[in-house]
Amino acid sequence: MTSAIDIERRLRERYRQPAGVEQFGIEPVPEERKTTGWFDLFSIMFNFLINPGTMLSGGLMVAAGLSFQAALAAGFFGTIVALVFYLIMATLGVDYGIPGQVATRAVYGLRGAKLIPSLLRTLVSIYWFSFQTLVGASAIVAVLAKMTGTTYPLVWVSVIFGLIQACVAVIGFGSLKVLARVALPIKVMVLAYLFVLFARHDDPNFELAKVLSYPGASGWTWVLLAGWLNVTIAGWLTNITDAADFARYTRSRTDMWVGTFTAGALGALLSTALGAYGAAATLGKVTNPFVLTAQIETSWVAFLVVLVFLCVDDWTINVLNLYSAGLSLSNMFERLGRFWTTLIASVLGVALCGDPDVLNFFRYVSMFGNVFSPVAGVLVFDYLFVRRMQIDVAALYEPKGRYRYWVGFNPIAVAWTAFGFLICTYVIPTAWIPVLLTLLITGFGYMLTVGIMQRAKMRDLWAVSPSPGATYAAHARANARACSLG
């Protein structure tokens, strides 16, 4: 049996990657490397949720008109709903040690996975990197202005900030664990400090009782609440295809479920609460809690604490964004190793930091949700109900194997994804939480279609023979293997 060290050496030579970085890209992680426990995963995911972007979304909810309590409910329950689907796909990483993008080959086909889930996830990861960097940089600019009296250009601060963050991402999963362990206590302490700072401010509107009872301009209006529930779920669904990426080094399903769920629920609650608190205390005028801190605090110590928090905070979230972007690109361009694809994603992400329009959070996340909700529906229902959580890992890497389907595409998955995007974008009203309803409709429709095709023995419509010259009998055998549930 080949050891993990030997495999890593071969991968390093094959991709010409530096020593000391994670060598595994699209390849399955060996069992001996699955040593991550629940707390390490909790640290990674908690850091993922405690970020300027999630805090800003809490503030934006209040600024849009929701009450403090309604904003908290939208952020928390939207996360809980999305976590159900996220955990299903993360289980793939624990069971098979493969990244999520490789797993999508079983559903969309070898080529379809590259041109649909992987391409989409690459674009979204780069967007999230730029968005988080710009949000953090805007707060850094505000703090530096208070400390030095000089207002630095947002774009240049964002670009420099982005370059610093990219340095860790190229190293790989090991750096994620180390960084998460260091960042976790820092984030918890600073988060507690900011809550106390706001609550003890001399403005009566900052009092805890006032904030908790802040009614907002629209309160609990369902259409507005549903819109932000939709955005929260959509934000999570953009991560559905890389859920397995952070779980494939985990030693058991229980470790993954406990670590991910508790971190997701607690992180979303605290981040949304801080952003909503600041916005409610300022009557919806200031949505970024770090900018608010710079406005109400005069102590250099406080400014230094905020700067440290922002650097550590954005670093932890954006390392994950670039890591998943690198794996997505690795799935698209198999000849490039993870190190090089992560480097490419870093360059693109830093370049996008030069466009402040990235901060248009509601518009972009809603748009991404329209695309990823049908993708999530197809993936979850296929893995859970069609394949019964069983995947032929070897076939994922065979160009002419069972997951080739029709010239590399699974027509059923592609068709239902396109249909889901159209109904999510143009048909389902906001009050119905379109990304969630689309996920369920698309997933059920896909599952039903696959079942009908199997029963009607029309498998040749969604899988083809390994080679153009194959006989009809070989064609039928290949189709039968492609449509099997095991």
pLDDT in tens, 299-334: 887 788 878 887 777 777 777 788 788 888 888 888
Q: What is the per-residue pLDDT across 33-55, written as a single tens digit (0 to 9) for each?
A: 888 899 988 988 898 888 777 89
Predicted pLDDT of residue 276: 97
Q: If pLDDT is split at 50, 70 and 90, which confidence band does 481 have?
A: very low
Predicted pLDDT of residue 173: 55
Number of helical H runs and strand E runs in the chain: 20, 0
- Asked whether the beta carbons of 18 and 339 are under 8 A apart, the reply is yes
Among 91-105, 161-175, 421-435, 462-476, name the one with the lowest average pLDDT: 462-476
Longest Cα–Cα distance of the chain, Å, equals: 82
pLDDT > 80? residue 193 = yes
- How far does Cα 411 stand from its chain's mean position? 26
pLDDT > 60? residue 298 = yes
Q: If pLDDT is split at 50, 70 and 90, which confidence band does 464 have?
A: very low
Q: Which pTM was predicted?
A: 0.83
Predicted pLDDT of residue 424: 96
Q: If pLDDT is split at 50, 70 and 90, which confidence band does 1 have?
A: low
State what percent of residues in the chain have pLDDT above 70: 89
Q: Specify the higher pLDDT residue, 297 or 224.
A: 224
φ and ψ at residue 287, rounded to 5 degrees: -95, -20
Average the pLDDT over 4-24 and give the result: 72
pLDDT > 60? residue 478 = no
> What DSSP state is assigned to residue 27?
S
Q: Which residues contact 41 (CB under 8 A, 6 or more apart)?
A: 246, 247, 250, 255, 256, 259, 260, 263
Query: DSSP strand E in 231-282: where?
Result: none
* CA 69/CA 211 separation, integer angstroms: 9
Which pair of structure tokens corresponds to residue 460?
């040749």
Q: If pLDDT is split at 50, 70 and 90, which confidence band does 363 have?
A: confident
For residue 219, what are the β-bridge partners? Answer: 66
Q: Count CB-CB contacts under 10 A for residue 15.
A: 18
Superfamily of domain 30-362: Hydantoin permease (1.10.4160.10)
Predicted pLDDT of residue 284: 94
Q: What is the per-residue pLDDT across 395-428, written as a single tens digit (0 to 9) for each?
A: 999 988 899 999 999 999 999 999 999 999 999 9
Which candidate, 227, 235, 228, 241, places its Cα nearest to that of 376? 241
Average the pLDDT over 159-185 and give the result: 70
Average the pLDDT over 114-142 and give the result: 86
Predicted pLDDT of residue 168: 60
Q: Which residues contact 434 (CB under 8 A, 6 or more apart)?
A: 230, 369, 370, 373, 424, 428
Which candidate, 413, 433, 418, 425, places its Cα nearest to that of 81? 433
Q: Which residues contact 23 (CB under 8 A, 6 or more apart)?
A: 7, 8, 11, 12, 15, 17, 172, 337, 338
Q: What is the per-residue pLDDT across 331-345, written as a single tens digit (0 to 9) for each?
A: 888 888 777 888 888
Predicted pLDDT of residue 485: 34
Four-CA torsion 455, 456, 460, 465, nearest 10 degrees: 50
Q: What is the per-residue pLDDT across 200-251, written as a single tens digit (0 to 9) for each?
A: 999 999 999 999 999 999 999 999 999 999 999 998 998 899 889 888 889 9
Residue with the two structure tokens 């009872």? 213
pLDDT > 70? residue 176 = no
pLDDT > 90? residue 20 = no
- Asked whether the beta carbons of 52 and 375 are under 8 A apart, the reply is no
pLDDT > 70? residue 476 = no
Half-sphere exposure of 270 (CA within 13 A, CB side): 21
In terms of C-beta density within 10 A (0-12 exposed, 13-18 middle, 19 or more buried), how is residue 30 classed? middle
DSSP 321-382: HHHHHHHHHHHHSTTS-HHHHHHHHHHHHHHHTT-GGGG-HHHHHHHHHHHHHHHHHHHHHI
Residue with the two structure tokens 């909503």? 276
* CA 2/CA 50 separation, integer angstroms: 39
- How far does Cα 359 stand from its chain's mean position? 17
Which candidate, 190, 125, 160, places its Cα nearest to that of 341? 125
Half-sphere exposure of 253 (CA within 13 A, CB side): 8
Give the sign of the dihedral formed by CA 61, CA 66, CA 69, CA 73: negative
Q: Specify the higher pLDDT residue, 471 or 182.
A: 182
Residue with the two structure tokens 């629920």? 265
pLDDT > 60? residue 480 = no
Which candidate, 16, 7, 9, places its Cα nearest to that of 335? 16
State what percent of residues in the chain have pLDDT above 90: 46
Q: Specify the higher pLDDT residue, 317 or 56.
A: 56
